Structure 1
């Protein structure tokens, strides 16, 4: 099953949305829905580490369509946290799970 790298960049002035939705976001990411599950993730931060600028999550999904269905209900997405979202198919390299090592 393929992996996808999701990067969402916070909209200006959206700190309150991130704080309010974070518990639901974290709970949602540990549930499997449409065959999609999160493998790794965390906040993107400024170079000085003093502010959050977005989120990055590696997700495993049957295909892009299933991933997009999963993201429709994701709390940060539903609340409009992100100004910009980038999603690319991603192949493990360094640090690959044992099941992915050639």
Structure 2
């Protein structure tokens, strides 16, 4: 199952985000926990100032995703003010198809 994780940063945490980014990015690429499918920073209308994150992962349960989010450096270092997790059913009409990899 796919899950969308929509995170918004606490105001004034740009320096915390920058400091935690290397560990956050390494964790996304680590291959442990839910499988990241798509991710990137949410930015302000200026196109450069990070205000949060959007991550789509594949995982069995919402609890697995919630535990993974709770352990993310952006959570533990106080960057994210909130993280909403929702099940995602990809449209068969989408221009890009999300598929489950073969075992």
Q: Residue 55 of structure 1: SS of its match in structure 2?
A: strand
Could you list the runs of 5+ residues in structure 1 that have no partner in the other structure?
A: none
1:51 Cα deviation after fit: 1.3
Preserved CA contact (<8 Å) 1:31 1:37: no
Runs of 4+ residues over 6 Å off in structure 1:
none
1:99 Cα deviation after fit: 5.0
1:59 and 1:99, CA in 2 relative to 1: closer, same or farther beyond 3 A? closer
Aligned residues: 98
TM-score calculated relative to the size of structure 1: 0.86
Could you list the runs of 5+ residues in structure 2 that have no partner in the other structure?
A: none
TM-score calculated relative to the size of structure 2: 0.86
In the alignment, which of 66, 71, 74 is matched to residue 72 of structure 2? 74
Preserved CA contact (<8 Å) 2:62 2:85: no
